[in-house]
């Protein structure tokens, strides 16, 4: 069986940025910012992305391209079977993420239709909406179906082609919405809240969230970039690609804030942020815009979210699929549907955890805390804030001490002859040997103890 590959460098960058840019940027980022002291969070987030995550991105892509294998097979191919647990953890983590992500993406898709129908009162009925099992199942399944359809067409004709259409459209929509948002009254207050840092809000918890968010947003720490990296050629300049992916991701998260905060502040609606921000507050804002404007702006906004989400679900699905195709020689068209159906089932507890099932809605109470955590939040805590940074930690340890830095340098140099001896090489090597393991390891440990054991 011939292994697929990206047809162009731009195609790879768009697909990888498409993976990075998702609900994490537009749905999660703004409320993390508002909970974390506005720009104080933003600054920490930027620091994590460029200083800690960048070397991990480069490492993942290099492993993938070097081995031309999926996240688990890559370690075997390098003769380091003992380390393939990093890949196994990654595949598992990807499945967990996709299971709840599809549920949220289903809400988003459903909202597109609600907005088109001018059903703005949905904001007061969000609780009811997410517990309307028929709707949620219908839209999540539809979303998964579209994702699987793209992935089943393979790398070039499926993933790359979708990214080439969706990413430019996404950027056009974002820019139009920002221009519109800035014309609203009081929008400047939103910008001020967003951009003026309140450092008193920073604590370990916020730092842990910022790190988790950086990993989640960059799709890092679970082998997605090993997988996508396995579909690129040796002439690809990994450093440049990694830079463009990071800039696109951070840039779009930043721009999403320029839409969200002016909207919220101009509406004068009091909100404590949180996951409901977009689903509860936004329809009210669109309603205040009045009739047809509300319908257009509202549906455009949720179409934007759907576009962002689908290039991400595609990448999440590709990780286990690529594993089945490479290692078990199961044809892509079968692998895709098998995995998609399994993940839909795994998502059911998350879908029920928003009030429908008491068991899943009050799933667990962490040590030392009084508030029960719902199943979806539990999966998010386990996968995003714990497994991803831990995966990143392991990947840097692996590259620095097991695969060895000279091999990394060789791999990167293939598409970048000036890399050897450059400042960038020194920086990456120093980072993956000392900075990343130390900081990622300790933040991971502290967040883990703090989150689950209240220490
Ligand atoms: N980065 C995406 C977002 O911001 C989510 C995502 C896609 C992801 N693929 C991933 C997260 C792989 C972690 C790992 O919404």
Please write the tens of the pLDDT for every residue from 75-125: 999 999 999 999 999 999 999 999 999 999 999 999 999 999 999 988 888
Pick the atom of ligand 1 nearest to 384's CA. 13
Give the distance (Å) from ligand 1 centre to CA of residue 28: 11
DSSP letters along 149-195, please? HHHHT-IIIIIIHHHHHHHHHHHHHHHHHHHHHHTSTTHHHHHHHHH
Is residue 369 within 8 A of residue 402, CB to CB? The reply is no
325 close to 335: Cβ distance less than 8 angstroms? yes
**Nearest atom within ligand 1 for CA of residue 22:** 15
| 0.85 exceeded by pTM | yes
The answer for residues whose C-beta is within 8 angstroms of residue 295's C-beta and 6 or more apart is: 115, 116, 118, 286
Question: How many CB atoms sit inside 10 A of residue 153's CB?
Answer: 18
- Is the minimum distance from the CB of 222 to ligand 1 under 6 angstroms? yes
Quote the pLDDT of residue 274. Answer: 64
25 lines ligand 1 (CB under 6 A): yes
pLDDT at 452: 81
Which pLDDT belongs to residue 125? 81
Q: How many H helices and E strands in the chain?
A: 24, 0
Burial of 111 (0-12, 13-18, 19+ CB in 10 A): buried
Q: How far apart are the first and last CA of the chain?
A: 51
Specify the pLDDT at position 443: 83
pLDDT at position 56 over 80: yes
Q: For 26-34, what is the mean pLDDT? A: 84
Name the residue with tokens 């004068």. 268
pLDDT higher than threshold 70 for residue 403: yes
Of 99, 217, 384, best ligand 1 pocket probe by most atoms within 8 Å of the beta carbon? 217
Distances (CA, A) of 321 to 98, 249, 392, 416: 13, 24, 21, 30
pLDDT value for 365: 85
Nearest residue (by CA) to ligand 1, atom 14, is 219
Which is more confident, 248 or 36?
248
Higher confidence at residue 271 or residue 204? 204
Highest average pLDDT, of 182-196, 214-228, 260-274, comes from: 214-228
C-beta of residue 178 within 8 angstroms of C-beta of residue 255: yes
**Partners of 452 in the beta sheet?**
none
Q: Is the shortest distance between the CB of 20 and ligand 1 below 6 Å?
A: yes
* Residue 104 near residue 27, CB atoms below 8 Å: yes
Q: Tell me what pLDDT residue 273 has.
A: 62
Residue 255 predicted with pLDDT over 80: yes
Q: Given ligand 1 and candidates 17, 18, 23, 24, which is best to mutate, with the most ligand atoms within 8 Å of its CB?
A: 24
Read off the pLDDT band of 271 (50, 70, 90): low
Q: Determine the Cα–Cα distance for residues 339 and 332; give it in Å rounded to an integer.
A: 11
Q: Which atom of ligand 1 is nearest to the CA of 25?
A: 4
How much is the pLDDT for 227? 98
Query: Tokens 């840097």 label which residue?
Result: 396
Residue nearest to atom 12 of ligand 1 (CA): 219
Q: What is the pLDDT of residue 364?
A: 86
In whole angstroms, give the CA distance from residue 330 to residue 327.
8
Start-end of H helices in 50-84: 54-67, 73-77
Q: What pLDDT is recorded for position 366?
A: 84
**pLDDT tens track for 313-333:** 999 999 999 999 999 999 999
Using the mean position of ligand 1's atoms as its centre, give its distance from the Cα of residue 186 in Å.
33
Q: How confident is the model over 282-307, as a mean pLDDT?
A: 90
217 lines ligand 1 (CB under 6 A): yes
Instruction: Look at residues 159, 209, 208 and name the one whose alpha carbon lies nearest to residue 17.
Output: 159
Question: Rounded to an integer, what distance in angstroms lies between the CA atom of residue 229 and that of residue 162?
Answer: 18
Residue 107 neighbours by CB distance under 10 Å? 25
Q: Binning pLDDT at 50, 70 and 90, where does residue 176 land? A: very high
Output the six-digit token pair for 240: 């440049």
Give the per-residue pLDDT at 266: 86
Q: Is the pLDDT of residue 275 over 70?
A: no
Cβ proximity of 304 and 105 under 8 Å: no
Main-chain dihedrals φ then ψ at residue 373, nearest 5 degrees: -110, 135
Tell me if 266 CB under 6 Å of ligand 1: no
pLDDT-above-70 percentage for the chain:
98
> Cα of 389 to ligand 1 centre, how many Å?
13
- Residue 224 Cβ inside 6 Å of ligand 1? The answer reads yes
Alpha carbon distance 208, 369 (integer Å) = 17
Q: Are the CB atoms for 108 and 306 separated by under 8 Å? A: yes
For ligand 1, whether the C-beta of 102 sits within 6 Å is no
What pLDDT was estimated at residue 32?
84
The whole-chain average pLDDT of the chain stands at: 92
- The confidence band for 1, taking pLDDT boundaries of 50, 70 and 90, is low
The string of pLDDT tens digits covering residues 190-205 is: 898 888 888 888 887 7
Ligand 1, residue 313: give the atom nearest the CA: 7
What residues does 364 pair with on adjacent strands?
Answer: 373
**Close Cβ partners of 434 (under 8 Å, ≥ 6 residues apart):** none
Distance CA 27, CA 25 (A): 6
Which residues 6+ apart lie within 8 Å of 70 measured at CB? Answer: 87, 223, 226, 227, 230, 319, 322, 323, 325, 326, 327
């Amino acid at each position: 069986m011939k292994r697929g590959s990206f047809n162009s460098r731009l195609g790879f960058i768009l697909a990888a940025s498409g993976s990075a840019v998702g609900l994490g940027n537009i749905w999660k980022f703004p409320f993390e910012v508002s909970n974390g002291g506005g720009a104080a969070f933003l600054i920490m987030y930027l620091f994590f992305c460029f200083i800690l995550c960048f070397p991990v991105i480069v490492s993942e892509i290099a492993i993938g391209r070097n081995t031309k294998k999926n996240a688990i097979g890559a370690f075997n191919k390098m003769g380091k079977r003992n380390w393939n647990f990093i890949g196994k953890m990654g595949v598992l983590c990807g499945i967990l993420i996709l299971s709840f992500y599809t549920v949220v993406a289903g809400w988003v898709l459903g909202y597109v239709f609600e907005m088109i129908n001018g059903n703005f009162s949905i904001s007061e009925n969000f609780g009811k909406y997410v517990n309307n099992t028929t709707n949620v199942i219908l839209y999540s399944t539809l979303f998964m179906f579209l994702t699987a359809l793209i992935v089943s067409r393979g790398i070039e004709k499926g993933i790359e082609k979708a990214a080439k259409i969706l990413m430019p459209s996404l950027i056009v929509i974002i820019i139009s919405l920002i221009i519109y948002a800035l014309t609203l009254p009081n929008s400047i207050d939103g910008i001020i809240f967003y951009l003026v840092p309140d450092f008193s809000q920073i604590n370990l918890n916020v730092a842990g969230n910022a790190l988790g968010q950086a990993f989640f947003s960059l799709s890092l720490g679970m082998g997605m970039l090993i997988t996508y990296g396995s579909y690129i050629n040796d002439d690809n300049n990994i450093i440049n690609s990694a830079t463009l992916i990071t800039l696109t991701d951070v840039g779009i998260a930043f721009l999403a804030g320029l839409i969200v905060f002016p909207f919220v502040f101009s509406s004068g609606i009091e909100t404590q942020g949180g996951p409901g921000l977009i689903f509860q507050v936004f329809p009210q804002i669109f309603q205040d815009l009045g009739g047809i404007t509300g319908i257009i702006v509202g549906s455009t906004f949720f179409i934007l979210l759907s576009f962002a989400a689908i290039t991400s679900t595609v990448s999440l699905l590709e990780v286990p699929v690529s594993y089945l195709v490479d290692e078990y020689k199961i044809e892509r068209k079968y692998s895709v549907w098998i995995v998609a159906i399994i993940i839909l089932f795994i998502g059911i507890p998350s879908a029920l955890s928003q009030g429908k099932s008491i068991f899943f809605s009050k799933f667990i109470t962490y040590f030392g805390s009084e508030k029960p955590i719902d199943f979806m939040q539990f999966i998010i805590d386990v996968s995003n804030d714990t497994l991803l940074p831990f995966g990143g930690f392991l990947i840097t340890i692996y590259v620095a001490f097991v695969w060895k830095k000279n091999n990394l340098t060789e791999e990167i140099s293939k598409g970048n002859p000036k890399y050897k001896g450059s400042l960038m090489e020194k920086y990456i090597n120093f980072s993956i040997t000392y900075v990343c393991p130390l900081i990622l390891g300790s933040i991971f440990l502290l967040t883990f103890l703090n989150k689950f054991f209240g220490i």
